[in-house]
């Protein structure tokens, strides 16, 4: 039964029937939090598909209260015919699988395009052909750059929300030139969104598309040299956490002037659960999921993380807490950046009544407390013994 055993009601007051969910990419950052929520608070069953399970191992034991409701299937969706059987067994498929770290978009553009378009295709097709509902994870990056970024500095329209607030049903998707391979990811995600939308329109596929706006929290990515490749470049939360753990300056790419809105993973997972349990309100929709109140430049993010981490550890920050690096030096040729990403929340608010709750300070406080507890000893050991750890 559900955590607490109570009958769950949907937003229209109807009892929610237990579902079987095929979750592809369940072993990643978002998947691990979604599995945790589904096990602790609902009666739904999860067929968890991934090539890794490190981040959900704590949910898989046979002695846990939800034992039997989550099964791990280690398979690579690129080439495994078992996927079809799992999707057919489920009421709903959630596809999270992707290469989604920006350092890969310009350095591994082929893998990025295959992962985000070609490998996602069979999932869409199997769902469509078998009348199975699909929740597909896209990205806010499909919006690309804001219209406002093409206006001259100081132009009054730059301050007009129409030029920078991103709306699912109105904003254009603006990418850089092909040689800026950064956009390989956004373009592949946009094409799979269009395909899903077309399957909905022409073949009746019941779908929901999610566009996450920088969801962050514990278990995001990896700490280079500790639980990931020592030369690997994760997303900004893990890059800055790694710098803080090692007491080295945080690297600001091109001065850290780009802006982002960050939402706490636990808030965002509430939104996904509403989509799962309210199909009539979520089907056929594309949802921005982010926190427009948590907007900062990357430089400000670095400053806040430095302050929060100092509070968590009781250690004074470095005298020079940040350094500037060029994007070419940090990411290599072909990098480009989204200038600003503010999600318009009208649609998710209207359909599901969802609002994010957690402030940037609070979400960084709990996340950096987790990072410190999880990694500080291992980082100290690795730094004391660099040969062994490499
Ligand atoms: P993640 O990298 O932590 O998780 C992705 C998971 O998919 C990984 O566990 C990986 O092993 C698995 N996977 C990849 N290819 C696979 C394959 N061929 N077969 C089986 N498993 C495979 O990433 P995440 O942050 O959890 O993101 C999940 C989804 O959300 C992705 O589609 C991503 O593009 C999208 N997204 C996330 C964010 C965010 O803020 N975290 C932002 C925008 C978009
Ligand atoms: N960034 C940075 N230093 C780092 C890592 C990232 O300045 O060590 C910047 C990056 O250039 C981008 C922003 O932080 O402007 C967010 O990067 P992330 O990799 O989290 O993903 P994105 O939001 O671009 O998809």
Domain-located, residue 128: yes
| Residue 32 placed within a domain | no
- Is residue 237 one of the residues assigned to a domain? yes
Catalytic residue status for 264: no
Is there a domain that residue 210 lies in?
yes
pLDDT over 90 (residue 10): yes
Which of ligand 2's atoms lies nearest the C-alpha of 102?
Answer: 19
Q: Which of 140, 223, 246, 298 to mutate to test the pocket of ligand 2 (most atoms within 8 A of CB)?
A: 298
Task: Reply yes or no on whether the pLDDT at 67 is more than 90.
Answer: yes
Q: The domain that contains 149 carries what CATH number?
A: 3.40.50.720
Greatest CA separation for the chain? 62
Q: Would you say residue 388 has pLDDT above 70?
A: no
Q: What is the pLDDT of residues 145-180, one digit of tens each?
A: 999 999 999 999 999 999 999 999 999 999 999 999
User: Closest ligand 1 atom, CA of 55?
Assistant: 9
Domain contains 89 = no
Average pLDDT estimate for 347-365: 98
Q: 100 in ligand 1 pocket by Cβ < 6 Å?
A: yes
Cα–Cα dist 144/151, whole Å: 15
Ligand 1 centroid – CA 24 distance (Å): 9
* CB of 10 closer than 8 Å to CB of 16: yes
Report if residue 187 sits inside a domain: yes
Q: How many domains does the chain have?
A: 1
Q: Any idea which ligand is nearest the CA of 299?
A: 2
Atom in ligand 1 nearest the alpha carbon of residue 119 = 18
Q: Please state the rounded mean pLDDT for residues 38-49.
A: 98
Ligand nearest to the CA of 99: 1
In a domain, 88, yes or no: no
Residue holding tokens 């009666």? 43
How far is it, in rounded angstroms, from Cα 362 to Cα 167? 27
Given 105, 143, 164, 185, the catalytic residue: 185
pLDDT in tens, 316-343: 999 999 999 999 999 999 999 999 999 9
Determine the atom of ligand 2 nearest the C-alpha atom of 237.
20
Ligand 1 in reach of 119 Cβ (< 6 A) = yes
Give me the domain span that covers residue 143: 98-377
* Residue bearing the CA closest to ligand 2, atom 17: 236
- Residue of the CA atom closest to atom 2 of ligand 1: 28
Q: Determine how β-strand 92-95 pairs with β-strand 20-24.
A: parallel
pLDDT tens-digit map of 269-281:
999 999 999 999 9
- State in Å: Cα 25 to ligand 1 middle: 6
Read off the pTM: 0.98
**Stronger pLDDT, 79 or 56, i.e. the higher one:** 56
Q: Is residue 111 part of a domain?
A: yes
| Any atom of ligand 1 within 6 Å of the Cβ of 28 | yes
Which-ligand-closest: CA of 242? 2
pLDDT, residue 139, reads 98
Q: Which residues contact 159 (CB under 8 A, 6 or more apart)?
A: none
Whether pLDDT at 1 is above 70: no
Could you please report the per-residue DSSP string of 102-142? HHHHHHSHHHHHIIIIITTHHHHHHHHHTT-EEEEE--GGG
- Report pLDDT digits (tens) over 211-247: 999 999 999 999 999 999 999 999 999 999 999 999 9
């Amino acid at each position: 039964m559900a955590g607490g055993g109570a009958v769950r009601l949907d937003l229209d007051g109807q009892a929610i029937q237990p579902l079987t969910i095929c979750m592809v990419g369940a072993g990643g950052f978002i998947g691990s939090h979604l599995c945790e929520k589904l096990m602790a608070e609902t009666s739904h069953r999860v067929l968890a598909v991934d090539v890794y399970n490190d981040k959900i191992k704590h949910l898989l034991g046979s002695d846990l209260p939800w034992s039997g409701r989550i099964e791990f299937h280690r398979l690579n969706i690129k080439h495994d015919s078992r996927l079809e059987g799992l999707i057919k067994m489920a009421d709903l498929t959630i596809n999270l699988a992707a290469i989604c770290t920006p350092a890969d978009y310009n350095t591994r553009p082929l893998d990025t395009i295959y992962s985000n378009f070609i490998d996602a295709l069979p999932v869409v097709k199997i769902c469509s052909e078998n009348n199975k509902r699909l929740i597909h994870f896209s990205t806010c990056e499909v919006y690309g750059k804001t219209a406002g970024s093409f206006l001259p500095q100081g132009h009054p329209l730059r301050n007009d929300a129409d030029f920078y607030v991103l709306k699912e049903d109105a904003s254009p998707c603006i990418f850089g030139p092909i040689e800026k391979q950064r956009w390989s990811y956004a373009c592949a995600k946009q094409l799979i969104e269009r395909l899903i939308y077309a399957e909905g329109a022409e073949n009746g596929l019941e779908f929901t598309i999610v566009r996450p706006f920088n969801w962050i929290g514990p278990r995001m990515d990896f700490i280079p040299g500790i639980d990931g490749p020592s030369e690997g470049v994760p997303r900004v939360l893990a890059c800055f956490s790694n710098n803080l753990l090692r007491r080295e300056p945080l690297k600001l790419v091109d001065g850290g002037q780009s802006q982002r809105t960050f939402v706490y993973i636990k808030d965002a997972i509430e939104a996904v659960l509403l989509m799962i349990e309210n199909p009539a309100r979520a089907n056929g929709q594309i949802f921005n999921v982010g926190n427009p109140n948590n907007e900062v430049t990357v430089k400000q993010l670095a400053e806040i993380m430095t302050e929060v981490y100092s509070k968590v550890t009781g250690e004074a920050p470095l005298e020079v807490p940040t350094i500037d690096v060029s994007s070419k030096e940090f990411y290599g040729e072909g990098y480009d950046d989204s200038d600003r990403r503010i999600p318009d929340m009208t649609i998710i608010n209207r359909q599901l009544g969802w609002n994010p709750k957690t402030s940037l300070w609070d979400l960084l406080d709990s996340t950096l407390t987790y990072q410190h507890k999880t990694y500080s000893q291992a980082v100290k050991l690795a730094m004391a013994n660099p040969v062994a750890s490499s």
